[in-house]
Structure 1
Amino acid sequence: MELPWPNVPEGVKSSTIKVRDLDMHFLHAGEREAPLILLLHGFPELSYSWREIIVPLSQLGYFVAAPDQRGYGRTVRPASQGKQVAYEDELAPYRMLNLTQDIVALVHGLGYDTAAAVIGHDFGSPVAAHCALIRPDIFASVVCMSAPYAGQPRHPTVFGEEHHVLARDRRGAWATLNHHLALLHPPMKHYTTYYSTPSANTDMCNPPQGLQAFLRAYFHMKSADWPGNNPHPLEDISQILKLPHYYAMPIQQTMPEAVEAHAPSQVEVLRNSWLPDEELSVYVDEFGRTGFQGGLNWYRAQVDAKYTEDLGVFAGKKIEVPAMFIGGVKDWGVYQSPGALEKMKEVCTDFRGITLVSNAGHWVQQERPKDLFEALSGFLRK
Structure 2
Amino acid sequence: MALEPLRLPDGITSKTLRVRDLNMHTLQVGRHSSPLVLLLHGFPELAFSWRHIMLPLANSGYFVVAPDHRGTGRTQSITPLSRQIQFEDDIAPYGLLNWTQDVVALVYALGYTTAAAVVGHDFGSSVAGYCALVRPDIFKSVVCMSAPYGGPPELPFKVEDTALSPPSRTLPPAVSLNQYLNSLSPPLKHYVVYNTQLTTNHDMLDAPQGLHTFLRAYFHVKSADWDGNDPHPLTHISELSNLPQYYILPLTSSWPDVVMLHAPSEDEIRRNTWLPEHDLEVYVCEFRRTGFQGGLNWYRANFTDASLIDQLRIFAGKKVEVPAAFISGVKDWGVYQIPGSVEKMRSIFTQMADEDFVLVKDAGHWVQQEQPKAVVEQLLGFLQRSSEQQV
Find 1:358's aligned residue among 357, 361, 364.
361
Cα 1:85–1:223, aligned 2, differ >3 Å: closer, same or farther? same
Secondary structure, counterpart of 1:98 in structure 2: helix
Cα 1:58–1:158, aligned 2, differ >3 Å: closer, same or farther? same
- The AA in structure 1 aligned to 2:312 is L
Secondary structure, counterpart of 1:155 in structure 2: coil
Tell me, yes or no, if the aligned pair for 2:19 and 2:106 is still in contact at 8 Å.
yes
Are 1:338 and 2:339 an aligned pair?
A: yes
What pairs up with 1:244-323 in 2 under 5 angstroms? Answer: 244-304=244-304, 305-323=306-324
Tell me, yes or no, if the aligned pair for 1:327 and 1:362 is still in contact at 8 Å.
yes
Deviations 1:247-302 (CA, angstroms, capped at 9, x unpaired): 10000101111111110000100010000111100110000000000000000012
Cα 1:43–1:228, aligned 2, differ >3 Å: closer, same or farther? same
Secondary structure, counterpart of 2:27 in structure 1: strand
Tell me, yes or no, if the aligned pair for 1:329 and 1:359 is still in contact at 8 Å.
yes
Secondary structure, counterpart of 2:346 in structure 1: helix
**How far did 1:332 drift?**
0.3
**How far did 1:160 drift?**
6.2
What pairs up with 1:140-289 in 2 under 5 angstroms? Answer: 140-157=140-157, 159=159, 175-289=175-289
- The AA in structure 1 aligned to 2:362 is N
Cα 1:118–1:161, aligned 2, differ >3 Å: closer, same or farther? same
How far apart in 2 are the matches of 1:293 and 1:55? 30
Match of 1:373 in 2: 376
**How far did 1:237 drift?**
2.5
Please list every run of 5 or more consecutive structure 1 residues that lacks an aligned counterpart in the other structure: none
How far apart in 1 are the matches of 2:168 and 2:37? 46
- The AA in structure 1 aligned to 2:99 is L
Deviations 1:206-226 (CA, angstroms, capped at 9, x unpaired): 001110010000000000000
- The AA in structure 2 aligned to 1:327 is S
User: How many aligned residue pairs are there?
Assistant: 381
Secondary structure, counterpart of 1:317 in structure 2: coil
**How far did 1:156 drift?**
2.0
Match of 2:388 in 1: none
**How far did 1:80 drift?**
3.1
Secondary structure, counterpart of 1:89 in structure 2: coil
Secondary structure, counterpart of 2:347 in structure 1: helix
Tell me, yes or no, if the aligned pair for 1:3 and 1:13 is still in contact at 8 Å.
no
How far apart in 1 are the matches of 2:166 and 2:3? 56
How far apart in 2 are the matches of 1:256 and 1:33? 45
Tell me, yes or no, if the aligned pair for 2:155 and 2:168 is still in contact at 8 Å.
no
Match of 1:327 in 2: 328
**How far did 1:3 drift?**
8.0
Tell me, yes or no, if the aligned pair for 1:3 and 1:14 is still in contact at 8 Å.
no
- The AA in structure 2 aligned to 1:339 is G
> Which stretch of structure 1 is more off in the superposition, 167-176 or 123-132?
167-176
How far apart in 1 are the matches of 2:35 and 2:169? 49
- The AA in structure 1 aligned to 2:326 is F
Deviations 1:107-133 (CA, angstroms, capped at 9, x unpaired): 000000000000000000010010000
How far apart in 2 are the matches of 1:323 and 1:172? 23
RMSD value over aligned CA atoms?
2.1
Q: TM-score, normalised by structure 2?
A: 0.93
Q: TM-score, normalised by structure 1?
A: 0.95
Cα 1:287–1:134, aligned 2, differ >3 Å: closer, same or farther? same
Cα 1:159–1:315, aligned 2, differ >3 Å: closer, same or farther? closer
Tell me, yes or no, if the aligned pair for 2:159 and 2:165 is still in contact at 8 Å.
no
- The AA in structure 2 aligned to 1:80 is P
Query: What is the aligned-residue identity percentage?
Result: 55
Cα 1:259–1:33, aligned 2, differ >3 Å: closer, same or farther? same
> Which stretch of structure 1 is more off in the superposition, 271-280 or 301-310?
301-310
Secondary structure, counterpart of 1:228 in structure 2: coil
Cα 1:175–1:114, aligned 2, differ >3 Å: closer, same or farther? closer
